[in-house]
Amino acid sequence: MIAAADQNKGFQYAKVLYDNQRTENTGWLTGQEMATIAASVDGLNMAQWRNDVNSSSSETAAKAVTALANQKNVKGTPTIFIGPTGGKLVEASGGTYDPAAVQQALAAAVANS
Protein backbone atom coordinates (compact mmCIF):
# COMPACT_ATOMS: atom_id res chain seq x y z
CA MET A 1 0.00 0.00 0.00
CA ILE A 2 2.88 2.36 0.78
CA ALA A 3 4.34 1.92 -2.70
CA ALA A 4 0.93 2.71 -4.21
CA ALA A 5 0.54 5.73 -1.91
CA ASP A 6 3.86 7.03 -3.23
CA GLN A 7 2.02 7.41 -6.54
CA ASN A 8 -1.09 8.94 -4.92
CA LYS A 9 -2.93 5.64 -5.45
CA GLY A 10 -3.01 4.45 -1.83
CA PHE A 11 -6.76 4.85 -1.43
CA GLN A 12 -7.47 2.95 -4.65
CA TYR A 13 -5.08 0.17 -3.62
CA ALA A 14 -6.61 -0.02 -0.13
CA LYS A 15 -10.13 -0.23 -1.57
CA VAL A 16 -9.25 -3.21 -3.77
CA LEU A 17 -7.39 -4.81 -0.85
CA TYR A 18 -10.31 -4.41 1.58
CA ASP A 19 -12.89 -5.40 -1.02
CA ASN A 20 -11.02 -8.69 -1.47
CA GLN A 21 -9.72 -9.22 2.05
CA ARG A 22 -9.85 -12.73 3.43
CA THR A 23 -9.41 -13.92 7.01
CA GLU A 24 -6.59 -12.10 8.77
CA ASN A 25 -3.45 -13.93 9.87
CA THR A 26 -3.99 -16.84 7.47
CA GLY A 27 -1.18 -15.95 5.05
CA TRP A 28 -3.52 -15.12 2.18
CA LEU A 29 -1.79 -11.80 1.40
CA THR A 30 1.25 -12.98 -0.53
CA GLY A 31 3.59 -10.94 -2.69
CA GLN A 32 1.77 -12.26 -5.75
CA GLU A 33 -1.60 -11.20 -4.31
CA MET A 34 -0.22 -7.71 -3.61
CA ALA A 35 1.03 -7.46 -7.20
CA THR A 36 -2.36 -8.61 -8.51
CA ILE A 37 -4.04 -5.90 -6.45
CA ALA A 38 -1.56 -3.29 -7.68
CA ALA A 39 -2.11 -4.33 -11.31
CA SER A 40 -5.84 -3.71 -10.89
CA VAL A 41 -5.39 -0.07 -9.82
CA ASP A 42 -5.99 2.28 -12.74
CA GLY A 43 -3.03 4.55 -13.45
CA LEU A 44 -0.59 2.79 -11.13
CA ASN A 45 2.85 2.54 -12.72
CA MET A 46 3.72 -1.11 -12.08
CA ALA A 47 7.43 -0.72 -12.81
CA GLN A 48 7.65 2.07 -10.24
CA TRP A 49 5.49 0.10 -7.79
CA ARG A 50 7.82 -2.92 -8.08
CA ASN A 51 10.86 -0.69 -7.43
CA ASP A 52 9.21 1.02 -4.48
CA VAL A 53 7.58 -1.96 -2.79
CA ASN A 54 10.84 -3.30 -1.35
CA SER A 55 12.71 0.00 -1.04
CA SER A 56 14.26 1.13 2.21
CA SER A 57 11.90 4.13 2.34
CA SER A 58 8.85 1.83 2.09
CA GLU A 59 10.32 -0.42 4.76
CA THR A 60 10.90 2.57 7.05
CA ALA A 61 7.34 3.81 6.47
CA ALA A 62 5.92 0.31 7.15
CA LYS A 63 7.81 0.12 10.44
CA ALA A 64 6.44 3.53 11.46
CA VAL A 65 2.89 2.46 10.61
CA THR A 66 3.32 -0.78 12.57
CA ALA A 67 4.67 1.11 15.58
CA LEU A 68 1.73 3.54 15.49
CA ALA A 69 -0.78 0.68 15.15
CA ASN A 70 0.79 -1.02 18.16
CA GLN A 71 0.76 2.24 20.13
CA LYS A 72 -2.94 2.80 19.31
CA ASN A 73 -3.77 -0.86 20.06
CA VAL A 74 -5.30 -1.48 16.63
CA LYS A 75 -7.12 -4.81 16.82
CA GLY A 76 -8.00 -5.44 13.17
CA THR A 77 -8.58 -3.98 9.77
CA PRO A 78 -10.07 -1.77 8.85
CA THR A 79 -9.75 0.43 11.91
CA ILE A 80 -10.84 4.03 11.56
CA PHE A 81 -9.94 6.71 14.09
CA ILE A 82 -12.19 9.76 13.94
CA GLY A 83 -11.37 13.06 15.58
CA PRO A 84 -9.10 16.07 15.54
CA THR A 85 -5.35 15.66 15.19
CA GLY A 86 -3.92 15.52 18.66
CA GLY A 87 -7.40 15.31 20.17
CA LYS A 88 -9.61 12.56 21.52
CA LEU A 89 -10.21 9.87 18.92
CA VAL A 90 -13.25 7.66 18.51
CA GLU A 91 -12.48 4.21 17.13
CA ALA A 92 -14.59 2.16 14.73
CA SER A 93 -13.10 -1.30 14.27
CA GLY A 94 -13.54 -4.95 14.88
CA GLY A 95 -11.97 -6.72 11.96
CA THR A 96 -14.98 -6.36 9.68
CA TYR A 97 -16.35 -3.22 8.11
CA ASP A 98 -19.62 -2.27 9.74
CA PRO A 99 -21.14 0.91 8.26
CA ALA A 100 -23.44 1.30 11.27
CA ALA A 101 -20.42 1.28 13.63
CA VAL A 102 -18.69 3.91 11.51
CA GLN A 103 -21.81 6.10 11.50
CA GLN A 104 -22.12 5.69 15.25
CA ALA A 105 -18.46 6.65 15.74
CA LEU A 106 -18.87 9.68 13.46
CA ALA A 107 -21.95 10.81 15.39
CA ALA A 108 -20.05 10.46 18.68
CA ALA A 109 -17.09 12.42 17.30
CA VAL A 110 -19.36 15.23 16.10
CA ALA A 111 -21.23 15.29 19.42
CA ASN A 112 -17.93 15.64 21.30
CA SER A 113 -16.50 18.37 19.08
Give residue-wise pLDDT tens across range 47-74. Answer: 999 999 989 999 999 999 899 889 988 8
pLDDT of residue 69: 87
42 and 97 co-located in one domain: no
pLDDT of residue 48: 97
pLDDT of residue 79: 73
58 and 85 co-located in one domain: no
User: Nearest CA to 41 among 9, 6, 2?
Assistant: 9
**Cα separation values, 40 from 30, 34, 62, 80, 83, Å:** 16, 10, 22, 24, 32
Structurally, how many domains does the chain consist of? 2
pLDDT of residue 47: 97
Segments of the chain scoring below 50 in pLDDT? none
10 and 39 co-located in one domain: yes
52 and 86 co-located in one domain: no
44 and 9 co-located in one domain: yes
22 and 53 co-located in one domain: yes
11 and 56 co-located in one domain: yes
- Domain range for 107 is 80-111
Tell me the pTM: 0.67
84 and 63 co-located in one domain: no
40 and 66 co-located in one domain: yes
Q: How far apart are CA 108 and CA 82, in angstroms?
A: 9
